[in-house]
Chains A and B, each alone.
Chain A
Amino acid sequence: MLAPFLWMLATSLKDQTGAMAIPPQWLPNQLHFENYSDVADKFRFGLFTFNSLKISILSTFGQLLSCSLAAYAFARMKFRGKEIIFYALLVTMMIPYQVTMIPVFYVIRLLGWVDSHNALIIPSFFGGTFGGAAFGTFLLRQFFETIPREMEDAATIDGAGKFRIYWDIFLPLSKPALATLGLFVFMGSWNDLLQPVIYLSSYDKMTLTVALASLQSSQETFQYNILMAGTVLSIIPILILFVFMQKYFVKGFVLSGIKG
Chain B
Amino acid sequence: MKRKLTPYIFLSPILIGMLVLSVGPILVSFIASFTQWDIVSPPQWIGAGNYKEIVSSDLFWQVLRNTFYYVALAVPLTIVLSLFLAIAVNRKLKGIGLFRTVYFLPVVTSMVAVAIVWGWLYNPEYGLINYVLRSWFGVQGPAWLRDPNWAMPAMIIVGVWKALGYNMMIFLAGLQSVPDEYYEAARLDGANTRQRFFSITLPMLTPTIFFVLVVTLIGSFQVFEQTYILTRGGPANATLTISYFIFQNAFQFFRMGYASALAYVLFAIVFVLTLIQLRYQKKWVFYQ
Contact = CB atoms under 8 A, between A and B. Distances in A.
Contacts of B173: 254
A11 B222 contact: no
Contacts of B147: none
Contact of A105 (B14, B39, B112): B39
Interface of B: 4, 6-8, 10-11, 13-18, 20-26, 28-29, 32, 39, 97, 100-114, 116-121, 125-128, 131, 135, 161, 164-166, 169-170, 173, 211, 214-215, 218, 221-222, 224-225, 228-229, 243, 246-247, 250-251, 256, 259-260, 262-264, 266-267, 270, 274
B282 to A, nearest CB: 17
Given A24-B128, A103-B29, A227-B120, A162 B6 contact: yes
Contact of B243 (A88, A98, A103, A190): A98
A11 B120 CA distance: 10
> Most chain-A CB neighbours within 10 Å: which of B25, B170, B218?
B25
B112 A92 contact: no
A1 B17 contact: no
Contacts of B103: 1
Nearest to B274: A94
Interface in A135-158: 137
Interface in A178-209: 187, 190-191, 193-194, 197-198, 209
Interface of A: 1-2, 4-5, 7-8, 11, 19-24, 65-67, 69-70, 72-73, 77-79, 82, 85, 88-89, 92, 94-107, 109, 123, 125-129, 133, 137, 162, 166, 187, 190-191, 193-194, 197-198, 209, 212-213, 216, 224, 227-228, 231, 234-235, 238-239, 242-243, 246, 249-250, 253-254, 257, 260
Given A106-B39, A224-B120, A257-B211, A72 B26 contact: no
A99 B101 contact: no
A163 B100 CA distance: 39
Contacts of A209: 110, 112
Contacts of A137: 14
B126 A22 contact: yes
Nearest to A20: B126
Given A100-B29, A238-B109, 19 more contacts: A1-B106, A2-B102, A8-B117, A21-B126, A24-B128, A79-B4, A96-B270, A98-B263, A99-B266, A100-B25, A101-B250, A103-B29, A166-B10, A191-B111, A193-B224, A216-B229, A235-B113, A242-B104, A249-B108
Given A103-B28, A107-B20, A187 B108 contact: yes
Contacts of B166: 253
A96 B22 CA distance: 11
Contacts of B20: 107, 126
Contacts of A88: 18, 23
Contacts of B262: 98
